[in-house]
Chains A and B, each alone.
Chain A
Amino acid sequence: MREVEGVVLSNCAVAAGIYEMRLLVPDASDVRPGQFLNLSSGEGELLLRRPLGIARHSEDCVTVCYQVKGRGTKALSCRVPGDRLSMLMPLGNGFYVKDSERRIALVGGGVGVFPLLSVAEAYRDREVSAYLGFRNRAAICYEEEFRAVSRLTIGTDDGSVGEKKNAVELFLADYEREKPDVILSCGPPVMLRALKRAIAERGIQAPCYVSLEERMGCGIGACLVCVCDLTNGEHARVCKDGPIFEIGEVEL
């Protein structure tokens, strides 16, 4: 992890309320899928950076996608090419897929789909199935990018595209046929809880890793602001020990 300054290359709306920002950075070659960065909003009066998953990366460029929610993401949406934004990157443990895990299932909801794109692009040599849930047609993004590197199933809450199912329901409907070796998931807490329940009820044996979100201070493990509870009673720091945890290991 390092403190760097990035230069905004582009910053465009890619779906309703969702922006994609590409940043030129000194070096992004060591980024792992599922890692994140802690990005300044560029607004001096906002002292906290925003943690955002790295959706794609190349040697010297990182792409983040963010939903405009509050002041920080609103400020980010106003940044224009050429603006400089400081950040810490790459942060967190990232997803690890074993060599023996040939079939990967990605289960993503809402803004949780972005970090999963980095997995699909990193493991092109595997059989990747992506199950993505969006609110409605307007919220869908990265469809082509996912299709290029995975077998994609999309669902929407209102049935405007695909089945009227959430990501977990799409995944479960396909599970017997696909029998993935590993399940990787990112999305809102309700979705992760539903996934945990379903895995227990169905007796699914494949390991499952989930990416958690928590409010952050430092982003590097020093301030203990971002803790989550582990099932063994211990605390873990989402920013440093996570954001990826084995689903049975964390309280959701």
Chain B
Amino acid sequence: MADLTTKICGVTLKNPVIGASGTVGFGREYDEIYDISLLGGISTKGLTLEPRRGNPVPRIAEGTSVILNAVGLQNPGVEKFIANDLPWLKTKGLAVVANVAGRTVEEYRDICERLDGLVDIIELNISCPNVKSGGMAFGIRPESIAAVTRAAKSGLRRTPLMVKLSPNVESIPVNARAAEGAGADCISLVNTFTGMAIDIERRRPIIANNTGGVSGAGIKPIAVRMVYEAAHAVGIPVVGMGGIQTAEDAIEFLMAGAVAVQVGTANFTDACAMPKIIAGLNEWCDAHGVKAVSELVGTLRMN
């Protein structure tokens, strides 16, 4: 049994595997399949101050080794989350990461203020490609990343802030440093890549929103490169994700410099993907004489 615990800005996780935002809801459904308290944490569906309806359907399409989605931040609003879901999640003994979004810088501050002290980490979704206002608009330019990070931070006294970076940008290192400089306690990446899939019979995009966010196994090499770049650009912890399906995939991210990982699309391919990844991490460490998974972080040697 290797030591799988990992620490992200003062929060201890029993293992480095976190359910990625938008793919695990608030945890209830997966808890019907396995006990989610064995996870390191879960990141909630993107929360907003008011309830949101999201985009019309179809909201999903499939490519080779990837999927595209445009759910568009459908959520019950932060108050309903606090009243109905958070108390239950708190009993599960895992790190609760609240993924939040806003239309304006002020909304980002307000929702952070509302959740301050109630959750373990707040993950700032400044990179959702599927909503027209806000979301990705904030996540592209370093200046706006700094502005929204500063605003969010001003609403927080107790809970650490994780800024989730978009991959649809010019420079990951520049944007990672912008978030760090504005007070982010840690960074997560990658969100989805903007893409399009076309129904050639109808000559129309399959997804009602026309474009969707690309995720899943096929994006992993790009995500690993970006996580490596981010981890080397900043001093704060980095949480990596993008296409992780197996323990070996997760280890690539750890070696590239991530202290923890998130798993999204793989949950759709196998509902028990995360428990299997956790078990696999343990086995790999044991087989390789690694006593603690934290020993792997950032151990990549370049050619």
Q: Chain A residues in contact with chain B, CB under 8 A?
A: 1-3, 40, 44-49, 71-72, 86, 88, 214-228, 235, 240
A226 vs B33: C-alpha distance in the bound complex, in angstroms? 19
- Could you tell me if B60 and A216 are in contact, using CB atoms closer than 8 angstroms? yes
A252 vs B296: C-alpha distance in the bound complex, in angstroms? 53
Task: Tell me the minimal C-beta distance from B39 to chain A in angstroms.
Answer: 13
- What residue of chain B has the Cβ atom nearest to residue A48's Cβ? B62
- What residue of chain A has the Cβ atom nearest to residue B53's Cβ? A235
Task: Tell me the minimal C-beta distance from A212 to chain B in angstroms.
Answer: 11
- What residue of chain A has the Cβ atom nearest to residue B271's Cβ? A3
Task: Tell me the minimal C-beta distance from A226 to chain B in angstroms.
Answer: 7
- Could you tell me if B23 and A217 are in contact, using CB atoms closer than 8 angstroms? yes
B30 contacts which chain A residues (CB < 8 A)? 220, 222
A71 contacts which chain B residues (CB < 8 A)? 62
- Could you tell me if B268 and A47 are in contact, using CB atoms closer than 8 angstroms? yes
A223 vs B24: C-alpha distance in the bound complex, in angstroms? 6
- Could you tell me if A48 and B67 are in contact, using CB atoms closer than 8 angstroms? yes
- Could you tell me if A86 and B268 are in contact, using CB atoms closer than 8 angstroms? no
| Other-chain contact of B29, A86, A221, A225 (Cβ < 8 Å) | A221
A236 vs B28: C-alpha distance in the bound complex, in angstroms? 16
- Could you tell me if A1 and B33 are in contact, using CB atoms closer than 8 angstroms? yes
B66 contacts which chain A residues (CB < 8 A)? 47
| Other-chain contact of B60, A72, A86, A88, A217 (Cβ < 8 Å) | A217
| Other-chain contact of B268, A49, A221, A224 (Cβ < 8 Å) | A49
- Could you tell me if A215 and B270 are in contact, using CB atoms closer than 8 angstroms? no
- Could you tell me if A2 and B54 are in contact, using CB atoms closer than 8 angstroms? no
- Could you tell me if B270 and A86 are in contact, using CB atoms closer than 8 angstroms? yes
Interface status of B216 (Cβ within 8 A of chain A): yes
- Could you tell me if A221 and B25 are in contact, using CB atoms closer than 8 angstroms? yes
Between A and B, 28 residue pairs with Cβ closer than 8 Å are A1-B33, A44-B65, A47-B62, A47-B66, A47-B265, A48-B67, A71-B62, A72-B62, A88-B271, A215-B60, A215-B61, A217-B23, A217-B69, A218-B271, A219-B268, A220-B33, A222-B28, A223-B25, A224-B25, A224-B54, A224-B59, A225-B59, A225-B71, A227-B54, A227-B57, A227-B74, A235-B54, A235-B74
| Other-chain contact of B33, A3, A49, A216, A240 (Cβ < 8 Å) | A3
- What residue of chain B has the Cβ atom nearest to residue A227's Cβ? B57
Interface status of B303 (Cβ within 8 A of chain A): no
A238 vs B2: C-alpha distance in the bound complex, in angstroms? 41
State the 6 A-B residue pairs at the shortest beta-carbon distance, nearest first.
A222-B25, A222-B29, A3-B271, A220-B29, A221-B29, A225-B60
A226 vs B216: C-alpha distance in the bound complex, in angstroms? 18
B 7-25 binary contact with A (CB < 8 Å = 1; else 0): 0000000000000001111
- Could you tell me if A218 and B60 are in contact, using CB atoms closer than 8 angstroms? no
Task: Tell me the minimal C-beta distance from B31 to chain A in angstroms.
Answer: 10
Q: Known interface pairs A220-B29, A222-B23, A223-B25. Does A48 touch B57 (Cβ–Cβ under 8 Å)? A: no
- What residue of chain A has the Cβ atom nearest to residue B206's Cβ? A215
A72 vs B60: C-alpha distance in the bound complex, in angstroms? 15
Report which residue of B61, B266, B270 has the largest number of chain A beta carbons within 10 angstroms of its beta carbon: B270
- Could you tell me if A1 and B32 are in contact, using CB atoms closer than 8 angstroms? yes
Task: Tell me the minimal C-beta distance from A243 to chain B in angstroms.
Answer: 14
- What residue of chain B has the Cβ atom nearest to residue A216's Cβ? B60
- Could you tell me if B64 and A45 are in contact, using CB atoms closer than 8 angstroms? yes
Interface status of B217 (Cβ within 8 A of chain A): yes
Interface status of B272 (Cβ within 8 A of chain A): yes
A44 vs B64: C-alpha distance in the bound complex, in angstroms? 9
Task: Tell me the minimal C-beta distance from A39 to chain B in angstroms.
Answer: 12
- Could you tell me if A2 and B33 are in contact, using CB atoms closer than 8 angstroms? yes
A219 vs B271: C-alpha distance in the bound complex, in angstroms? 9
B 200-242 binary contact with A (CB < 8 Å = 1; else 0): 0000000000000000110000000000000000000000000
A240 vs B28: C-alpha distance in the bound complex, in angstroms? 12
Task: Tell me the minimal C-beta distance from A86 to chain B in angstroms.
Answer: 6
- Could you tell me if B65 and A45 are in contact, using CB atoms closer than 8 angstroms? yes
A237 vs B266: C-alpha distance in the bound complex, in angstroms? 20
Q: Known interface pairs A48-B60, A48-B269, A215-B58. Does A222 touch B217 (Cβ–Cβ under 8 Å)? A: no
- Could you tell me if A3 and B57 are in contact, using CB atoms closer than 8 angstroms? no
A224 contacts which chain B residues (CB < 8 A)? 22, 25, 45, 54, 59, 71, 74
